[in-house]
Amino acid sequence: MTAGEVVERIKKNLGGPWRDTTYRDTFKYGGAGTEVTGIATTVFCSFEVVQRASAAGCNMIIPHEDTYWNDRDDVAIVSGDPLYAAKVDFMRKNNIVIFRIHDHMHSQRPDFTYVGSGRELGLDPKYETAPNSHRFVVPETTLGALVAQVKERTGARALRVVGDPNAKVSRIQLGVGYATPAVNNPDVDVVISGEQQETDGAFDGPEYVLDAVALGINKGWIMLGHAISEESGMLEMAQWIEGFVPEVPVQLVKAGEPFWAPE
């Protein structure tokens, strides 16, 4: 089957209208006529991911984020860069086709990124306060114990945490990527999210938590990083595609966490 046929099936199974105005959810390399040998989903389409997908027999890659290091995948920005030349040369030689799906993935209900992240973090759906609220009331624990659980389950190498590790917490608000929940919500003890500016953002959550701790209020923030928070959703994506594209193998090829912390 062709990459175009795969994309048409994705559009048909979305459960909502396809928005042709999107600049994200388009072909980033190759085209609709490319014959597909296998499909790999991933969070970031790094060169290593392209190489590993190709080695696994997957020449169609469906990333959630960009391929050319900018959100619009504007090649004019990078066309003179040797990394761009090497990446494109490899994709050309290995008949790679890339179709990004970002906007329509987030418009799905449920959103695969939240489903996958919740599953990986061990947030049982039975504790969610309402469908698609992404808010969980779990048995009381401490912020430190919660962080230890998150680290163990995700394998994250560079978690960042704000708050008192001994604080008693039970009300968790989940965010992914740049979708940063409000930590000053009185019904939330801890935000677990992808990333946020430390200062000068729309709301400076880390600084709010620091002041809450100084005032003896139990608040916490666990920043997973963008890739860690959304990668598990691409497994949900792979399993979803597998259900209506039985002709070729479909698998997750992890981009993994880009950060590491020195010891």
Question: pLDDT tens digits for 144-172?
Answer: 999 999 999 999 999 999 999 999 999 99
Tell me, what DSSP letter sits at residue 186?
A: T
Prediction pTM value: 0.94
What distance in Å separates the CA atoms of residue 188 and residue 170, rounded to the nearest whole number? 8
Q: In the structure, what pLDDT confidence band is assigned to residue 201 with cuts at 50, 70 and 90?
A: confident
Asked whether the beta carbons of 252 and 227 are under 8 A apart, the reply is: no
The CATH number of 112-227 is which of 3.90.950.10, 3.40.50.620, 3.20.20.140, 3.40.1390.30? 3.40.1390.30
Asked whether the beta carbons of 121 and 150 are under 8 A apart, the reply is: yes
The secondary element (H helix, E strand) that includes residue 98 is strand 97-99
Listed in sequence order, the residues at least 6 apart from 30 whose beta carbon sits closer than 8 Å to its beta carbon are: 3, 91, 95, 96, 97, 98
Same fold, 3-107 and 112-227: yes
Asked whether the beta carbons of 146 and 173 are under 8 A apart, the reply is: no
Kindly list the domain boundaries of the chain, sorted by start residue: 3-107, 112-227
Q: Give the pLDDT confidence score for residue 200 in this predicted structure.
A: 73
Does residue 199 register a pLDDT over 80? no
**Of the candidates 122, 123, 196, the residue with the CA atom closest to the CA atom of residue 152:** 122
pLDDT digits (tens, 9 = 90+) for 33-87: 999 999 999 999 999 999 999 999 999 999 999 999 999 999 999 999 999 999 9
Tell me which residue has tokens 């494109």: 88
What distance in Å separates the CA atoms of residue 177 and residue 231, rounded to the nearest whole number? 10
What architecture does CATH give domain 3-107? 3-Layer(aba) Sandwich (3.40)
**What number of CA atoms fall less than 13 Å from residue 19's CA on the CB side?**
13
